[in-house]
């Protein structure tokens, strides 16, 4: 399905990123891993980087350009328990900088997949802040957080909301080259940060977890990312796929008076 394609996977050392790298390899792809830690799963190349370091990120972009990558899976992220400026930098600003920095070097027909989150529900109510964050660089994150009320309580929410909105905005941006961008929004996934995720979503998530059969696993999410990176998804543009065991559907149904 992906034989011979060069796919860059950020966050490949653990969780969903590691499982995605594993499944991409099984599908025939050449996996170029990006992380601050070396991955345990087999990959074809590894680039170590701290995404909070703008200069290091720019150097990484230059290193990756010659690949003419066929896909980019933006999976690296930090939990909501990290300082708000770190959350916003890694989960949004660095992700966008890497993607746009590589854009001219991506192969025609390339696929970009952003790992968003169920926490991104309600982005429509944050459009003013999302627009204010357009063009935000590493140096400006702290001041942006202060000016826009981004704190430990909402930094994870806002970062994922802005990422979903950015994915929708770019539904046709690179259509002339056949390059598409989509997103995947997991619900609670059984990784070391599951507790952080549930704490962030609060009572709503606790109630939904009580009626769900189980939390997800990286093996539930990675196949969706892999599909979006494959040629089978060429007609999907700017979509955000809820991959959450029905949690998003439950929220939508119950909030609109359906059982």
Mean pLDDT of 155-162: 97
Question: Does 124 reside within a domain?
Answer: yes
CATH of the domain at 103: 3.40.50.720
- Cα 37 to Cα 18, 34, 168, 186, 244: the distances in Å are 11, 8, 31, 23, 27
Mean pLDDT of 159-169: 98
Q: How confident is the model over 165-206, as pLDDT tens digits?
A: 999 999 999 999 999 999 999 988 887 777 776 776 677 666
What pTM value is reported for the model?
Answer: 0.95
Determine whether 139 is exposed, middle or buried from the number of CB atoms within 10 Å of its CB (0-12, 13-18, 19+). exposed
Question: Does 1 reside within a domain?
Answer: no
* Owning domain of residue 98: 6-255
Question: Does 240 reside within a domain?
Answer: yes
Question: Does 85 reside within a domain?
Answer: yes
Q: What distance in Å separates the CA atoms of residue 188 and residue 201, rounded to the nearest whole number?
A: 10
Question: Does 202 reside within a domain?
Answer: yes
Q: Which of 156, 158, 166, 227 is catalytic?
A: 156
- pLDDT averaged over every residue in the chain: 94
Number of domains observed in the structure of the chain: 1
Q: How confident is the model over 10-60, as pLDDT tens digits?
A: 999 999 999 999 999 999 999 999 999 999 999 999 999 999 999 999 999
Whether residue 30 lies in the annotated active site = no
């Amino acid at each position: 399905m992906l034989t011979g394609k060069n796919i860059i996977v950020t966050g490949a050392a653990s969780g969903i990123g590691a499982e995605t790298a594993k499944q991409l390899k099984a599908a025939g792809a050449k996996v170029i891993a990006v992380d601050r830690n070396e991955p345990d799963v087999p990959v074809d190349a590894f680039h170590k980087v701290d995404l909070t370091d703008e200069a290091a990120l720019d150097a990484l972009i230059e290193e990756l350009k010659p690949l003419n990558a066929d896909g980019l899976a933006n999976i690296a992220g930090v939990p909501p328990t990290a300082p708000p400026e770190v959350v916003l930098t890694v989960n949004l600003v660095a992700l966008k900088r890497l993607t746009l920095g590589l854009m001219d070097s991506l192969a025609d027909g390339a696929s970009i997949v952003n790992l968003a989150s169920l926490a991104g529900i309600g982005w429509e109510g944050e459009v003013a802040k999302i627009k204010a964050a357009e063009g935000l660089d590493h140096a400006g994150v702290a001041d942006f957080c202060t000016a826009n009320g981004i704190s430990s309580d909402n930094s994870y929410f806002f970062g994922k909301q802005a990422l979903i909105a950015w994915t929708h905005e770019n539904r046709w941006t690179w259509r002339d080259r056949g390059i598409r961008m989509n997103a995947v929004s997991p619900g609670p996934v059984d990784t070391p940060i599951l507790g952080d995720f549930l704490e962030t979503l609060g009572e709503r998530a606790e109630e939904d977890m009580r009626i769900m059969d189980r939390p997800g696993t990286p093996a539930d999410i990675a196949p969706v990312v892999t599909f979006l990176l494959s040629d089978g998804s060429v007609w999907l543009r700017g979509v955000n796929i809820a991959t959450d065991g029905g949690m998003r559907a439950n929220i939508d149904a119950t909030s609109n008076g359906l059982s």
